[in-house]
Structure 1
Amino acid sequence: MDEFNASKPIYLQLADRISRQIVSKELKAGEKLPSVRDMGIKYSVNPNTIQRTYSELEREGILETKRGQGTFVTEQEERLVEQRVQLQHEQIQLFVQVMQEMGCSSQEIISGLKDYLNKFDLGDE
């Protein structure tokens, strides 16, 4: 988990990880995040990188810094729902783009996805 992709800034990769932990409820609304220093040690990165990560997520409205207390996941449920929808759309866009690059039609993508979900019993149908 501590490996990073060289094509994307580390602070954005960390922001993505934290964001996914929040939308999957691994990190709960109102939960305190580790200090910048502790998080830097955990991921073997400079604390300035962690500060930039936290600042980015704060700018996006999913983290809040309370002076003297630390950094917390926002308790604004509507913002967390928006973040989940945004991440979902990003993943769907990437998936569809790759499938289209492979020459798949929209119908082939839909039927392939349905088949996959049914095969692994992951669907809600």
Structure 2
Amino acid sequence: MEFDTNVPVYLQILTYLKEKIVKQEWKEGEKMPSVRELAKALKVNPNTVQRAYRQLESEGIIYSKRGMGSYITEDRDKLYQLKKEMAHDIVDDFAKRMMNIGLNKSEMLEIIKEYVKGV
């Protein structure tokens, strides 16, 4: 993973973890990599990974079992809500960037329709 120096590392890890979860690379109820394992794989301080895990836990996306590790929630509604939130963030960023280059809503929709036809 390559990190953007303009964004805090823990936020980038948080996004990375959320993407793994919503893409179901890590399934509901599945054990997450340990903080140390992930920190080693990403070449970051374990405290940074721990901060991302704490945020996921506070959002109800993962939960901890004392002495056993962290697990992905089995709450499908919570996971679907996470996917929707991430999609909204992407659309929001997309719309802002399109408006910055001078496109209006109807022009954006036309571009999206053209894109979807080509996919």
Normalising by structure 2, we get a TM-score of 0.97
Q: Hey, what's the Cα distance between the residues in 1 that align with 2:34 and 2:25?
A: 17
Q: CA deviation at 1:7?
A: 1.1
Residues 1-125 of structure 1 mapped to structure 2, 5 A cutoff: 2-120=1-119
Q: Hey, what's the Cα distance between the residues in 2 that align with 1:17 and 1:35?
A: 15
Q: Hey, what's the Cα distance between the residues in 1 that align with 2:76 and 2:116?
A: 29
Structure 1: where are the runs of 5+ without partners? Answer: 121-125
Q: Hey, what's the Cα distance between the residues in 1 that align with 2:104 and 2:46?
A: 46
Q: Hey, what's the Cα distance between the residues in 2 that align with 1:113 and 1:78?
A: 28
Q: CA deviation at 1:89?
A: 0.3
Q: What is the one-letter code of the residue matched to 2:112?
A: L
Q: Hey, what's the Cα distance between the residues in 1 that align with 2:11 and 2:59?
A: 12
Q: What is the one-letter code of the residue matched to 1:82?
A: Q
Q: CA deviation at 1:119?
A: 1.2
Q: What is the one-letter code of the residue matched to 1:102?
A: I
Normalising by structure 1, we get a TM-score of 0.93
Q: CA deviation at 1:60?
A: 1.0
Q: What is the one-letter code of the residue matched to 1:29?
A: E
Structure 2: where are the runs of 5+ without partners? Answer: none
Aligned length: 119
Query: Residue 39 of structure 2: SS of its match in structure 1?
Result: helix
Q: CA deviation at 1:51?
A: 0.6
Q: Hey, what's the Cα distance between the residues in 1 that align with 2:93 and 2:114?
A: 19
Find runs of 4+ consecutive structure 1 residues off by over 3 angstroms: none
Q: Hey, what's the Cα distance between the residues in 2 that align with 1:97 and 1:53?
A: 27
1:49-92 deviation line (CA, Å, top 9, x unaligned)? 11111001111110111111101111111110110110010000
C-alpha RMSD of matched pairs (Å): 0.7
